[in-house]
Structure 1
Amino acid sequence: MTSASKRNRGTRPSAPVQGPSADISASMRDEIEERIRRFSEANTRYRTPVPGLSVARVTAPVPPTIHIDRPCMCMCIRGQRRVSVGETIFFHDENQLVLTAIDRPTVFAIPHASSQKPYTALRIDLDLEIARQMMAHIDVNECNVAPTASGLTAAVTPELLDCVLRLTRLIERPSEIAVLADLIHREILYRLLSGPAGNSLRQIARLGSHGQRVSKVVAWLREHFRGPLRIDQLAKMAGMGVSTLHRHFHELTDMSPIQYQKRLRLHEARRLMLEESYEVGTAALDVGYESSTQFIREYRRLFGDAPLRNIKALRTTGLTSAAL
């Protein structure tokens, strides 16, 4: 799945927080984990009744698989997953959140989940239009920090964990969802926008910014990934020069446009084989590959295994859509 040239970040788990706040955070995590357990045992889906909130409880290892992350915040409640975004590889553990500000193909694996030690996580979708409205009321020194694909990870604060706990409580309090869910989502956005992890989010949300223009290119690629890619056409769409587009696209996705298109193709091919039982060659042609040999080579490079073996391994986990 990886090569020596890829950057490795955060390969060691984050240092746990010490002191009284650690006890409070542990108590909140225990409650969140229990609510996710009860929901997962009663439901086969990831989406909860709370708008924008998805949860997962995984009790077996998950081999490398790909997911297109839309603007969202992901948090591990218990366990750890291995994440690859473009050229960056890191371990996402209980002390970090992962913030995604732009649609981004992400490869992940969950190597150590078991029924005794399940991997438990949640994802909260982020509304960029609301973020844009809130930015006018947040005083942040945005010029000192460059936008990066990273907005990738940041420490989980007790304040943010408290917001997440209150949101997960609504899973079992359906009568309160209509009144409280939107308020808690706004508080979560505020915590993210006003913290160091929010820089990428602010760059994307700000109208007219380079990030917002790159997001238009990303949206176009999502719709047209099967066809040929012309960089000059994308640069014109973004109102940038070719080199400027390359630079800002890489800053926000950790990939070049061509790498981004390739991951979209491999993501769709994997979905077709896993969920619609396409043959390898048929899936390759459907997503835009002219050579099955090239497709298999690139699939193996990304996922660490040949397509048929990877799909078989995914089916044994019962995974037909991405865990968090």
Structure 2
Amino acid sequence: MKKGSQRRLSTLMESKESLAAETARLASLISTHAPYDGTFGKRIPSLSVSRYSQVNENSVNSFDLPSMLIVAQGAKTVTVGQEVYRFHQSQILMLPVALPIALKVTQASHREPYLSVKLVLDPHKIAELALRVYPKGVPAVTKWSAGIILDADVGMISTASRLLNCLTNTSDAELLGPLAMDEILIRVLRSPIGARIAELGFPGSEANRVTRAITWLRDHYSDQIKVAELADMVHMSESTFRVHFKSITSMSPLQYQKALRLHEARRLMLSEIMDATTACYQVGYVSPSQFSRDYSRFFGSPPRRDVIGLRQQVTSG
């Protein structure tokens, strides 16, 4: 083997070893802040850590805000519409817009639990940092998807570790925590997927217009609206809007609105102790039977049975 090839191989091995060591350090920190199974919010806003010591037999439905998930140990699968994202240790899943998802822990044990750090993304902060990373404008984006998987590098993982270290001191959490979060975002914006993340924060871009439509749907999920009206609201033709909306969310605007309604109905029945019929009308359905059919297809059980099962899980947990 030539000396140049040997040096490149040696450098690659050292990089892998450094990444493995830094990821192990991050996993240890997560274990400290997540001492048992569950997801734990922390004193730094938008930050949470998770530990799960067994795999999921069935997917768990959730509605996620724009976020990034850094996995330090184990593996997980997230389904958005028809798209399935499988990611594992030392990888990051980016969900740039608010989405209904189905998630499943696929690699975990009591000895080596699934461990991750989650950051909720602030579009305004992304736009602010993107202007610094791309002062001459964001490169053209030709490919969109609801989720993006990124191989983390040592810098990203070590910054996440420093972020968790800030939790041990209130002053550090308040003053240094936001700086570490900014650094993580800057590293992502400078990565191969950076342009796709940055584009979402730039006013006037087609991606940003779709995010504005998503925000409107989240605020008015119970309203009746035609797709053409929604497209006009964000100054796009209906055909262009439909294409971009589906590429960014992996579903049509009406499918997205339906998912919003069903998740809100579920929340109302669980948190507000509302019966299915009342929840049905509250979220914008006009037919209880249609609501029940949609709910069963989406969550896997009729409303009443699903809510009873969820309450039993909470009680037994």
Q: Give yes or no for TM over 0.5.
A: yes
1:192 counterpart residue number = 188
**What do the CA deviations read for 1:98-142 (whole angstroms, capped 9, x no partner)?**
112222222213355554443222211223223223323325895
Q: Is the contact made by 1:151 and 1:199 (CA closer than 8 Å) also made in structure 2?
A: no
Aligned counterpart for 1:181 among listed residues 167, 177, 198: 177
Q: Is the contact made by 1:151 and 1:198 (CA closer than 8 Å) also made in structure 2?
A: no
Q: Is the contact made by 1:147 and 1:203 (CA closer than 8 Å) also made in structure 2?
A: no
- Mean CA deviation greater in 258-267 or 103-112: 103-112
Helix, strand or coil at the partner of 1:229: coil
- Mean CA deviation greater in 196-205 or 219-228: 196-205
1:222 counterpart residue number = 218
Q: Are 2:153 and 1:157 equivalent residues in the alignment?
A: yes
- Mean CA deviation greater in 278-287 or 84-93: 278-287
User: How far apart are residue 243 of structure 1 and its match?
Assistant: 0.7
Aligned counterpart for 2:204 among listed residues 199, 204, 208: 208
In 2, Cα distance between the equivalents of 1:98 and 1:109? Answer: 14
Q: Are 2:306 and 1:318 equivalent residues in the alignment?
A: no
- Mean CA deviation greater in 130-139 or 118-127: 130-139
**What do the CA deviations read for 1:275-324 (whole angstroms, capped 9, x no partner)?**
333333333332222333333332333333444454445445439xxxxx
Letter in 2 for 1:30: A
2:7 counterpart residue number = none
In 2, Cα distance between the equivalents of 1:116 and 1:318? Answer: 24
User: How far apart are residue 151 of structure 1 and its match?
Assistant: 4.9
User: How far apart are residue 262 of structure 1 and its match?
Assistant: 0.9
In structure 2, do the counterparts of structure 1 residues 217 and 53 end up closer, same or farther at CA, with 3 Å as the change threshold? same
1:138 counterpart residue number = 133
Letter in 1 for 2:149: T
In structure 2, do the counterparts of structure 1 residues 154 and 43 end up closer, same or farther at CA, with 3 Å as the change threshold? closer
User: How far apart are residue 164 of structure 1 and its match?
Assistant: 0.8
User: How far apart are residue 169 of structure 1 and its match?
Assistant: 1.1
Aligned counterpart for 1:262 among listed residues 248, 254, 258: 258
User: How far apart are residue 260 of structure 1 and its match?
Assistant: 0.6
* Aligned counterparts, 1:1-324, within 5 A: 19-41=13-35, 46-62=40-56, 63-110=58-105, 113-139=108-134, 142-143=138-139, 145-318=141-314
Identity in percent? 30
In structure 2, do the counterparts of structure 1 residues 60 and 268 end up closer, same or farther at CA, with 3 Å as the change threshold? farther
User: How far apart are residue 38 of structure 1 and its match?
Assistant: 2.5
- Mean CA deviation greater in 137-146 or 187-196: 137-146
Q: Is the contact made by 1:64 and 1:304 (CA closer than 8 Å) also made in structure 2?
A: no
In 2, Cα distance between the equivalents of 1:70 and 1:256? Answer: 18
Letter in 1 for 2:217: L
Helix, strand or coil at the partner of 1:199: helix
**What do the CA deviations read for 1:235-274 (whole angstroms, capped 9, x no partner)?**
1111111111111111221111101101101111222233
User: How far apart are residue 79 of structure 1 and its match?
Assistant: 2.0
In structure 2, do the counterparts of structure 1 residues 307 and 83 end up closer, same or farther at CA, with 3 Å as the change threshold? farther
Helix, strand or coil at the partner of 1:83: strand
In 2, Cα distance between the equivalents of 1:285 and 1:64? Answer: 27
User: How far apart are residue 222 of structure 1 and its match?
Assistant: 0.4
Q: Is the contact made by 2:231 and 2:237 (CA closer than 8 Å) also made in structure 1?
A: yes
Paired residue total: 302
Aligned alpha-carbon RMSD (Å): 2.7
In structure 2, do the counterparts of structure 1 residues 314 and 116 end up closer, same or farther at CA, with 3 Å as the change threshold? farther
Q: Is the contact made by 2:77 and 2:86 (CA closer than 8 Å) also made in structure 1?
A: yes
Helix, strand or coil at the partner of 1:246: helix
Letter in 1 for 2:123: L
- Mean CA deviation greater in 294-303 or 220-229: 294-303
Please report the TM-score for the alignment, with normalisation by the length of structure 2. Answer: 0.84
Please report the TM-score for the alignment, with normalisation by the length of structure 1. Answer: 0.82
In 2, Cα distance between the equivalents of 1:64 and 1:109? Answer: 5
Letter in 1 for 2:225: L
In structure 2, do the counterparts of structure 1 residues 248 and 306 end up closer, same or farther at CA, with 3 Å as the change threshold? same
Q: Is the contact made by 1:200 and 1:252 (CA closer than 8 Å) also made in structure 2?
A: no
Q: Is the contact made by 1:76 and 1:122 (CA closer than 8 Å) also made in structure 2?
A: yes
Helix, strand or coil at the partner of 2:41: coil
In structure 2, do the counterparts of structure 1 residues 296 and 25 end up closer, same or farther at CA, with 3 Å as the change threshold? farther
